[in-house]
Amino acid sequence: MNDITVIVLTKNEEKNIKACIESAKMIAKRVIVVDSGSTDNTVELAKNNGAEAVYHEWVGHARQFNWALDNCNINTEWVFRLDADERISKELACEIREKLASEESKDVNGYEMRWRIYFMNKWIKHGGTHKPYFLRLFRFGTGRVEDKLMDEHIIVDGAVKKLNSDLIHYDYKGLDAWLSKHIWYSQLELQMYNTQSDMTGGNEAQKQKRGFYYRLPRYFRARLYYWYRYYIQLGFLDGEAGRIFIYLQAYWYRFIVDAKIYEQLEGKDKK
C-alpha cells in the first residue's frame, strides 16, 4: 500500500462517490471525504466504502482543499487530490505505485497527469481536452492550491514529473446537470474576471493566454475559441458528442460569461 492520503471534496455526490473511493483504494492508505453539507447519501456511502468523512462549510475549491491539508491530521508522505467525478485508472494506479517505489521519487515533490474526459459516454480525445497536464499527486508539506475561485492549480515547491497514464474524468450526470453546473461556473468566472484576472494557473504562459483572450472583442472571442478547438484542434473527429461538448464548453459557456460581463457594465452605467 502506498503512503498516500486521497482527499475528495463533496456535496451531493451519491452517484459518484462509491466508484471514486473504489478507484482511490488502489493507491491510498487513507481516503478522506470533506463534505460541505450533502443532503443525499454521500456521507453514508463514503463511510460504508471505507473512507473517513468530515464536515466543513463550503469556502471554495481552493480554500476547502487547503483546509483539509491543515486540519485532517495527514500523516502520509504523499497527498492525492481526487474529485468525486474522477476515477484513478488501473494503469495510473500501477504507474503511481512504480514511481513512488523508485529511486527517482526521492528527488520529486509532485506528479502531473492528464485527464481522459468522458461526455455522453464517449471519450473526448480531441479539441485540446487530452493535452493539458494537471498536478494531483504531491509530497505532503510541499504543495498547496492557489487561492483562485476556479481553475485552481496545486503549486508545489520542488521538482515535478509527468506521468503517462490518465486520470478518468466523468463530468456528466445528464445534460441538465451539466448546463446548471456551468451556469454556476460562469458566475465564478465573472467574479474572477473582476477580482483575479491576473491569476491564471501559476505560470506566465497561462497569464498571457488569458490576457490575450480578454483583449479580444466580446462574443467574437467565444466564437474564435470554438473554431480553434473544433477545427484546429480537431474536435470534429469525436463525432456528435464531441461537437456538442466543444460547442457547449468553448462557445455557449464563454458566450454566457461575456453576456454577464455586458450585463454588469450596463448595470454600472445606469447607476
| Cell numbers 463514503: residue | 46
Domains and CATH numbers, the chain: 4-169 (3.90.550.10), 175-269 (no CATH)
Indicate if the alpha-carbon torsion angle 218, 61, 88, 95 is positive or negative.
Answer: positive
Contact (Cβ atoms closer than 8 angstroms) between residue 8 and residue 83:
yes
What is the mean predicted confidence (pLDDT) over 113-122? 93
Does pLDDT of 247 surpass 70? yes
CB atoms within 10 A of CB 183: 12
Does pLDDT of 171 surpass 80? no
pLDDT interval class at 192 (50, 70, 90): confident
- 122 forms beta bridges with 119
What is the mean predicted confidence (pLDDT) over 43-69? 96
pLDDT interval class at 108 (50, 70, 90): very high
What is the mean predicted confidence (pLDDT) over 186-201? 74
pLDDT digits (tens, 9 = 90+) for 197-218: 554 445 566 667 778 888 899 9
Picking from 6-10, 85-89, 97-101, 168-172, which range would have the lowest pLDDT averaged per residue?
168-172
User: How far from 140 is each of 69, 78, 218, CA to CA, in Å?
Assistant: 8, 5, 42
Q: Please state, in angstroms and rounded to a whole number, the distance separating the CA atoms of residues 201 and 254.
A: 18
Q: Please state, in angstroms and rounded to a whole number, the distance separating the CA atoms of residues 190 and 196.
A: 10
Looking at beta carbons, which pairs linking 179-188 to residues 24 or more positions away fall under 8 Å?
179/248, 182/248, 182/249, 182/252, 182/253, 182/256, 183/256, 185/150, 185/253, 186/253, 186/256, 186/257, 186/260, 187/260, 188/149, 188/150
C-alpha dihedral (73, 65, 113, 117), degrees to nearest 10: 130
Instruction: Give the up-direction half-sphere exposure of residue 247: CA atoms within 13 A in the CB hemisphere.
Output: 8
pLDDT interval class at 193 (50, 70, 90): confident
What is the mean predicted confidence (pLDDT) over 74-90? 96
- Average model confidence (pLDDT) across the chain: 92
Residue 209: the pLDDT is 78
Residue 173: the pLDDT is 80
User: How far from 57 is each of 149, 151, 180, CA to CA, in Å?
Assistant: 16, 20, 21
